[in-house]
Structure 1
Amino acid sequence: MRFLTSNLIDIDYLQWLIWLLSPIVISFLLPLTILLFFYCSALFLHVYRHRNRITAIKEAVRAGDYWDGARQAIATFWDAHGWIYHGYEVKGLDNIPDSGPALIVYYHGALPLDYYYLLSKTYLHKNRLIKAVGDKFLFSIPGWKLMMEVFHVFPGTLKTCTQVLQRGDLLSIAPGGVREAQFGDNRYKLIWGNRIGFAKVAIASKAPIVPVFTVNLREAFRSVSFGQSWFERVYDKTRLPIVPIYGGFPVKMTTFIGEPIPYKPNRTPEELAALTAEAIEKLIQENQRIPGSIWRAIFDRFKSS
């Protein structure tokens, strides 16, 4: 039987094939682990919601926020993931105010993993929840509705975003959105087009804008580069994120938070949008190696601060 098997299967060739293809398979499987983390977070919230009702009511009355304990637990989980897997750090966390409104504007990676880490850091260290504008497709993903509600993610309009900031809360917006996520690359060019809605929100609410960028974000996860023109035509018609992503590489990630851009009554939305883009581009130029390299981003883990 052993002789027959060795004649039918070239063992050396099979081992070489596994060695050759395993990095490719792993690169496309690792993004699924992040999806798994999301579903674990959502499952935790569902369990949390259906625990002992009497205990929950007592805690809600005492703490004033029923979901605070769940958010603390999930934030701790993501904070630990960032520290272990990406050596994640934040530079300039003090630029996010301890109280009062602020509009956090950030560069959107292929997978906004850095935003989840920043959200966790801010919640754990400043006890402030960053509410977020999310693309509509997020709300159609099975099992995610509760998580969107608990973390206050919503498909924002000018009115709803302004109301959030006028209440004195933190709000985050990625002007590039899904288009920047899908069609950006390791040269880190902003893909904002003529989007100035976020600037209108900041002016209407008289809130400062806090620019944010994360180094090596595009080296952690990337969108495939082939067939971009075809994918873009399909995206323009469907508005769905159809470009495959790959990665999950353990690169060093550091989020840089720039100085707030204060509200000035005489600024136009176009001027404020341009100032914000310049602030993020400055963070990119000063901190990001262009073009980004996955191997060098991994080696950054071993550099002394």
Structure 2
Amino acid sequence: MTNAAARTEQIIEQPGRVRRLRRLVEATADGIWPAIDLTRPYVDGTENLPRDGRFILVGNHTQTGMAEAWLTCLSVRRITGTRVRPLTERGMGSMPGPIGDVLAACGGVVGTPENATKLMQNNETVLVFPGGGRELGKFKGEEYQLKWDGRAGFARVAIANDYPIVPVGHVGGDDIYHSVVERDSFLGRLTEKVGQAITGKADMTMPLTRGIGPTLIPSPQRMYLRFGQPINTRQPAGVTDEDWVSTVKASAQTALESILHELQDVRSEDPFRQLNPLAWRHALRPPTAAS
């Protein structure tokens, strides 16, 4: 067996040290939910989650980077009892040593077609953010915008493995910090040039931001999560492979954009959106929770 094949096998049959860490991670996740629940995360659409765990979640990144991943994974675990396997950037997913073990224990897997296929062949729940790191750096006016840049790999692998796609939108993370400049402004273009000089990637630039007032203290925000209806990826007769990939990708993007618009409308009417304790009892709840 080649080294690459061995690494792919290990995402299912994880080493003993990772399995032990996984038990600790899951116990911690279950234990901290009461504390998370004090912030009353707005989570709805859970009835759309296939109970067999065999689906791929397609979501949006916010400036926090991790809040949406954690809330999604914890919510799915509470509803279906299954572990979510996030597909990560190569640099993060292949980190060596203890950090890499912790990421693996949390379910993280390097986001390659081979790894995604292996997970799907094992009927695992998969999570992907097609925008990747490009969605972390939001300039003024870019909040909750998808930056997929034509990426359709998630659709291709879902189709190949007959995996339904569940769009999952997250709102709240892009309100913790706010960019102070627009991308096309003088300071915005200068920031992009500096970012490209440092990282080699202009689309990964982190803009100048502020939190509470003019400071970098993060602004407390309620988190909003919505799971959309599953998208069937089974290819109809007479439709070419590439046309079907494009159709599925466009359907997922349209559904996710609609969810993000809906959640922003919900947030705008929520008196608890900034975690004001005086408004705790008046926090808007999803229809299923309110009924």
Q: Give the TM-score, by structure 1 length.
A: 0.68
Question: Mapping of 1:1-305 within 5 angstroms?
Answer: 66-84=20-38, 86-111=39-64, 112-138=66-92, 139-140=94-95, 143-183=98-138, 187-222=143-178, 225=181, 227-233=187-193, 234-235=195-196, 237-238=200-201, 243=206, 247=211, 248-266=218-236, 268-289=244-265, 297-298=273-274, 302-305=282-285
Q: Distance in 1 between matches of 2:150 and 2:112?
A: 17
239-248 or 131-140: which moved more? 239-248
Displacement after TM superposition at 1:89 (Å): 2.9
Of the two, which has the highest radius of gyration?
Answer: 1
Displacement after TM superposition at 1:290 (Å): 10
Displacement after TM superposition at 1:204 (Å): 1.1
For the 8 Å contact 1:130–1:172, the answer to whether it is kept is yes
Displacement after TM superposition at 1:224 (Å): 5.8
Sort the Cα spacing of 1:222 and 1:167 in 2 relative to 1 into closer, same or farther, 3 A.
farther
The root-mean-square deviation of aligned C-alpha atoms, in Å, is: 3.4
Sort the Cα spacing of 1:76 and 1:224 in 2 relative to 1 into closer, same or farther, 3 A.
farther
For the 8 Å contact 2:271–2:283, the answer to whether it is kept is no
Q: Give the TM-score, by structure 2 length.
A: 0.71
Displacement after TM superposition at 1:251 (Å): 1.7
What amino acid is the match of 2:256?
A: I
Q: Distance in 1 between matches of 2:70 and 2:91?
A: 18
Flag the structure with higher helix content: 1
Displacement after TM superposition at 1:93 (Å): 1.7
Q: Where in structure 1 are there 5+ consecutive unaligned residues? A: 1-47, 51-64
Q: Where in structure 2 are there 5+ consecutive unaligned residues? A: 1-15, 212-217, 237-242, 286-291
What amino acid is the match of 2:206?
A: V
Aligned length: 243
3-state SS of 2:156 partner: helix
